Structure 1
Amino acid sequence: MSTNPQILLDQVAQAFEQQDYRTATQILKQLWQAHPENPWVQLYRARLYEVGGNLEAATQVYRQLLQNITIPKLITQARQGLQRVEDLEKAQRQTAIAQVTAAPDQAEPGILVLEAIELEQRQEAAKTLSRIIGIDVYTARVHIPNRGWRIYRMGPIGEMAFYGKQLQENGLPAFWVPVSSLEKLQVFQVHYLQDYEPQAVVICQNSEGQVGNLTFNWSEVSQLVEGHLPIFEQVLETDILRKGSERQRKSETQDFVLVCDLHLPQRNCVLRFCDRTYDFHQGIDFTPNHSDVQTTLRIHWNTLLNFLKQQVSDKPVYHDFSPFAETAIEFPHLLKQLDPKFYLMGQDDSPWNPAFHIYSSLAFFRNRR
């Protein structure tokens, strides 16, 4: 057998043309042992990965070649190989998605959510997301949240589950929830806390406006979700540096509505506390030190919130609503579709209200999977 690598490379090329992959494998094994740095050896190795179905390995070698070589003919073949792999992966995804969404219950709308990862893992995670979803690495990196969660996309729940499972299997935290689950989750707007031991009793209102009491044990609470929802007001703004300039209306944040949800998964419901709708003159007194001195709403709320946290101190608290909401508003159709389950005077059109309901509902169903 000749030791001239070019002769062996020609034999490999001929074997590929004849689809004789067994011969190609045998010759390449020799070449790889003797000339592992030869870019043509690497190219044919990538092609073997490709025809063998190891598309991830083929993609990695093709991309490394494109980064490191300057030979025009080899660059062309590496690009063609990478394109073949991408086309094949896309076709495989479409086939798999068509299969998983064929069942009626897998075709209903769903949400795929990405979770934040450590900074040092982001680059590798972006490559994984790029490969699984079929997008470029830069775009993938932008979509991975720095903190909390991000709604990545909407589509048939079967498709969202298909992508979500692949992401999880490759070390990327993600979860998916049907939109119908968010719509059906029962939320009670708490008017006030009437008692807290031996059981808690709240006076609350359901979505139909009916008021009643609900008794529960603190041990039933699985988690607590906090949110600060901005209150926007229209103000007139004039540029005093420009003569004859007209006044312009501009939305500015004037204050924040404070909301806290307690999740009761065994009852499939949420108790929603809100500083603007909670009646601090009824039920348990949350005035600091039970003083008669008039206190502000914020102080009352902080006292109530601290009390709730003390009762469920061993349960997780979700408080990354703001970064989540900033990305959730990129899905206006979803925000308009969902009833926020609570209403504030003059804030009916605010996207932050339904965004909080989505955030809390996602936390509810994420931990019930």
Structure 2
Amino acid sequence: MEKQLAQFDHYLAKREFAKAAAILKKLLSQQPSDLQLKLCTARYHHAAGKVDKAEAIYRELLKSAAQPQLLDQARRGLQAIEAAELKEQRERIAEAIEQPLGQSAGLLGLEPIASELKQEAAIKLARILHLDPYTAKTQIPSRNLRLLRIGTYGELLVYGQQLQAVGLPAFAISLAAIDQIEVKSVAYFESEPIPQGNNGDRLTAFCLNAAQSHRYVADELDRLGFGWNEVTSCVISVLPTFSEVVNFDAKQKLIKEEQVLDLVNVCDLHLGDRNLILRFHDYLYQFNQGMQLAVPQVHKNLQPTVQERWSSLINWLEPNLPKNIQVYRDRDFKTFADMALAFSDFIKQVEPNLNLERKKESVWDNCFQLYSGMVFLRP
């Protein structure tokens, strides 16, 4: 067998795969369980570019082989595969960074993955992002979109492509792409009577001239007509507003503290084909203008509260959205924000496009725009 193995090595080195395969096939027919031949099979697959098959055999040998020489060769085979993958990854990243927007800021996101698939997904994620398996498993979301990494868009784009290639629902987005989404601030809607479940009707949104404007001026609104069937996704959440209060510390000294003052209801309708977000919130929405909805009230003898009016608006909106779109709610955004707010310098690069008349800017506004932009641009 030694002579035949020498011939196999000769043909494999010369990349004469047909001749090498013929020798290997003959030897395996005689000794199918021989570990040395299994190693040769792995080497053959590796040389022929069938890396997955080679890796599987190398790993099997590490578990079953007892001979130090075989173990060493299997280990070196795996190291060669990993080194080649790393080299290719670095080359792709270097090329991607040189492309337009390649050096700009970006993010890497991951869609939720079913619990029973997490173990396999963690192995793939660890390999591509160079993490240990335990850390990789903690990074995999079960219910909500997750911000995996921030950094250079070109690098994250390569990671996203590699994760997609192994079946993981990852995506890379540049902050420039989020900033290019047009955001219109809606003052109120007008609509024809809408039959339940009919997505063919049209609405008219009366929008402020610029999303940054803080004032509602009736004569300065833009009209925008759209159909329910144009809505591709929807984000409904709340954002905190803050105020400074004076308090006493443990030594009874006066200190200033920031506390949550109020919660603002906000909703984004995504019109994907128009690259447009229609954004409205209960600080600005003119409930007395446009269409008038029935408002269930707790206290019949009082005017409806803003919260009651908002609930009525959302309860009218949701049943009319296309049935095949996803609605992202406050719990989804809050899960994202709990992690993303730690990267405040990164988040501040995103234009918030939100007019809440805050006394002091809040990174929560930027975070909401980042999240809504991720939802808008995700594959």
- TM-score range relative to shorter protein: 0.7 to 0.9
Give the aligned partner of residue 19 of structure 1.
13
Q: Are positions 1:143 and 2:150 aligned together?
A: no
Give the aligned partner of residue 360 of structure 1.
372
Question: Superposition RMSD on alpha carbons, in Å?
Answer: 3.7
Q: Are positions 1:275 and 2:282 aligned together?
A: yes
The answer (yes or no) to whether the contact 1:190–1:278 under 8 Å persists in 2 is yes
Separation in 1, partners of 2:10, 2:134:
34
Deviation at 1:361, TM superposition (A): 1.7
Q: Percent identity?
A: 33
Separation in 2, partners of 1:299, 1:117:
36
Q: Secondary structure at the match of 1:341?
A: coil
The answer (yes or no) to whether the contact 1:191–1:278 under 8 Å persists in 2 is yes
Which of 281, 288, 297 lines up with 2:295 in the alignment?
A: 288
Which of 222, 238, 242 lines up with 2:232 in the alignment?
A: 222
**Are residues 58 and 255 of structure 1, via their aligned partners in 2, closer, same or farther at CA, if it must alter by over 3 Å?**
farther
Deviation at 1:230, TM superposition (A): 4.1
Give the aligned partner of residue 128 of structure 1.
124
The answer (yes or no) to whether the contact 1:329–1:351 under 8 Å persists in 2 is yes
The answer (yes or no) to whether the contact 1:8–1:27 under 8 Å persists in 2 is no
Deviation at 1:90, TM superposition (A): 0.9
Separation in 2, partners of 1:13, 1:248:
83
5+ residue gaps, structure 2: 194-201
The answer (yes or no) to whether the contact 1:148–1:323 under 8 Å persists in 2 is yes
The answer (yes or no) to whether the contact 2:163–2:169 under 8 Å persists in 1 is yes
Instruction: Supply the AA of the counterpart residue of 1:91.
Output: K
Separation in 2, partners of 1:333, 1:349:
13
> What do the CA deviations read for 1:96-116 (whole angstroms, capped 9, x no partner)?
333344333555443332111
Q: Provide the aligned length of Structure 1 versus Structure 2.
A: 356
The answer (yes or no) to whether the contact 2:89–2:158 under 8 Å persists in 1 is no
TM (norm. structure 2) is 0.77
Which of 159, 162, 168 lines up with 1:163 in the alignment?
A: 159
> What do the CA deviations read for 1:20-69 (whole angstroms, capped 9, x no partner)?
66576455434544555544443333333332223333333333333455
Which of 269, 274, 277 lines up with 1:262 in the alignment?
A: 269
Deviation at 1:340, TM superposition (A): 1.0
The answer (yes or no) to whether the contact 1:191–1:204 under 8 Å persists in 2 is yes
Separation in 2, partners of 1:333, 1:16:
58
Separation in 2, partners of 1:158, 1:245:
53
> What do the CA deviations read for 1:242-299 (whole angstroms, capped 9, x no partner)?
xx79999877666543211112334432111112332334444446158652333322
**Are residues 299 and 20 of structure 1, via their aligned partners in 2, closer, same or farther at CA, if it must alter by over 3 Å?**
same
> What do the CA deviations read for 1:127-154 (whole angstroms, capped 9, x no partner)?
3333444444333323222222122234
Separation in 2, partners of 1:35, 1:246:
85
Q: Are positions 1:197 and 2:198 aligned together?
A: no
Moved more, 288-297 or 300-309: 288-297
Give the aligned partner of residue 44 of structure 2.
48
The answer (yes or no) to whether the contact 2:12–2:44 under 8 Å persists in 1 is no
Deviation at 1:303, TM superposition (A): 0.8
Give the aligned partner of residue 299 of structure 1.
308
Deviation at 1:338, TM superposition (A): 0.9
Separation in 2, partners of 1:20, 1:119:
46
Deviation at 1:88, TM superposition (A): 0.9
Separation in 1, partners of 2:165, 2:173:
18
Q: Are positions 1:310 and 2:319 aligned together?
A: yes
**Are residues 264 and 19 of structure 1, via their aligned partners in 2, closer, same or farther at CA, if it must alter by over 3 Å?**
closer
Q: Are positions 1:328 and 2:337 aligned together?
A: no
Instruction: Supply the AA of the counterpart residue of 2:62.
Output: L
Instruction: Supply the AA of the counterpart residue of 2:345.
Output: H
The answer (yes or no) to whether the contact 2:206–2:224 under 8 Å persists in 1 is no
Separation in 2, partners of 1:32, 1:253:
72
Give the aligned partner of residue 72 of structure 2.
76
Q: Are positions 1:116 and 2:112 aligned together?
A: yes
